Structure 1
Amino acid sequence: MLENMSDKYTITKYLNGQFQNVEDVIVNEFPLTIFVNDVEFATMVCTPTHFEEMVVGFLASEGVIRFYSDIHSMNIDESRGYAYVMLKAETTTNQQYYSKRFIGSCCGKSRQFYFHNDSRTAKTSTAKTTITASKAIALMNEMQNNSQVFQETGGVHNAALCNSEEVIVSRTDIGRHNALDKLFGYSILNRVPVRDKIIVFSGRISSEVLLKAAKIGVGIVLSKSAPTDLAIKLAKDLNITAVGFIRGNSFNVYSCPERIVE
């Protein structure tokens, strides 16, 4: 599958005062347009792997489906870049509905801005899972070190679904949201319980990423990068432990620190 994720190009490199022609590995970028019940729903620019997982995870995160059984049929035409999904029941696929902002109360603690579908699908975590500090660092290192396409290109995000001891599955994509959708789709297709699981993530924890984690249903998000202030507020509201800047032997815990133990 790695051959679908990158290609080799001859480039001009400047080094130590000289230009030279060298071979470089460049990550692939691929547009996939999703049709739901014959209506164009979204175009995702992605790394061309694990299409079925990504489409299922994306539709679940958008509230279009809850279970894989909600889908009557799915046909992915990779040559044309189309995914055709027919649902067993009628659903609202109006783009305005899915992009409309909704102001609502989250757990009664504060008022945050959501997309309308976010207010319906983001879950407040009830996870009792804990993880040791050393294992949090180890899982981040394992995910990054095992991503060959990241090692070769530096142009992708990595995300992994883990338990408190090991990586269960990892996915890679040029889009950080896509990588999470692939994990979500994997858990749906393989009926993996997620409430007690952990997401390890290479990218920034934005509010959108935090909401993706809430929709998946995990209680802990471990990131190599920084959070935003809205992501921290949402993490506190949704009872999710957000950990950032996992680098070397240190990290920062921004919310619900009781899940990180010595």
Structure 2
Amino acid sequence: MPLPFLTQASAPLTREVETVDEHGERGTTSIPAERPLTLYVDRRELVTLMTLGAHPEWLVLGYLRNQRLVESPDEIESITVDWDVDAAAVKTRRGIAKFKERTARRVVTTGCGQGSVFGGLMDEVDSIHLPEATITQAQLYAIVNAIRLQESTYKSAGSVHGCALFEGGKMLLFVEDVGRHNAIDTIAGWMWLQGAAMTSSNKVFYTTGRLTSEMIIKSAQMGVPVVVSRSGITQMGQEIAQKLGLCAIGRAMNKRFLCYAGCERLQLQPELAAPAVA
């Protein structure tokens, strides 16, 4: 079957507002343009996502995938985003089986911008098998440096999270949104549309946000065996990563980092590290 039809309804990422500083001086600055996007599946309202709207169609597709509501992109006929009514209309080809039952149990997550997942958060963990892959310390430093150099809404306006997908040290996609869960869902949607091109095992996911259980599970669902964050990790996130054999690296800034789980996937090169502080 063909891939779904997607509109390309990107919205402006920032807006200018007037400010007053500590000296009483008036000026203008850019802030992220957060907006609601209500998702309808076959005319039934599912959820409202707060988003920047950079790639709303990929976000919707990745959200449906990571909620385990659809198993393949070809189950969806179209995703139509209309910012005049702040809505995304998803039309499936054959409907979603047991839609009401599968969306009845809602878990509010720790995500900035208030994320949510449907069903049991741990339901698929035991069935996930990650590909064999490793990351070298040099590759990790290259990823951190690439993020440092990346032009971003955060640099101009702040108040957003960024996520990126790497392969062999090359950045494939960089996405920002008000919540890290939106950014990872957007990347998941994009990956899904690429099909077989995303089957390579040496993918690395990067996020500016903390590694919660939700972020670890979504990364694993995407088949990504290595996750890097400039922030830390939660207890549940660490436990799930350890169970999956997923390499979870946090506090990754400059040449410092902590590997919390899956350390066997990390090829250490201590000679590249910054000198220890006496």
TM bucket (normalised to shorter chain) is 0.7 to 0.9
CA distance in 2, matches of 1:133, 1:237: 23
- What does 1:223-238 align with in structure 2 at a 5 Å threshold? 223-238=229-244
Pairing 1:128–2:136 present: no
1:110-167, Cα deviation, whole Å (9 max, x unpaired): xxxx942651378534322211112212212312431321111121111111113211
Contact 2:11/2:54, CA 8 A, preserved across alignment: no
- For residue 50 of structure 2, the aligned residue among 30, 45, 53 is 45
Q: TM-score, normalised by structure 2?
A: 0.82
Q: TM-score, normalised by structure 1?
A: 0.87
Pairing 1:155–2:153 present: no
Residue 217 of structure 1 deviates from its aligned partner by 1.6
- For residue 88 of structure 1, the aligned residue among 93, 105, 122 is 93
CA RMSD of aligned residues (A): 2.2
Match of residue 20 from structure 2: 12
Residue segments in structure 1 that go unaligned for 5+ positions in a row: 102-113
Question: Could you list the runs of 4 or more consecutive aligned residues of structure 1 that deviate by over 3 angstroms after TM superposition?
Answer: 95-98, 120-123
Match of residue 104 from structure 1: none
CA distance in 1, matches of 2:158, 2:36: 20
Pairing 1:71–2:76 present: yes
Match of residue 59 from structure 1: 64
CA distance in 2, matches of 1:188, 1:246: 27
1:8-60, Cα deviation, whole Å (9 max, x unpaired): 1120111xxx2211221101101001111111011100111101100000000
Residue segments in structure 2 that go unaligned for 5+ positions in a row: 1-8, 108-117, 270-278
Contact 1:122/1:212, CA 8 A, preserved across alignment: no
Provide the aligned length of Structure 1 versus Structure 2: 247
Q: What code does the residue aligned with 2:24 have?
A: F
Structure 1 range deviating more: 222-231 or 18-27: 18-27
CA distance in 2, matches of 1:166, 1:203: 21
Structure 1 range deviating more: 140-149 or 117-126: 117-126
Change (3 A) 1:127 1:55: same
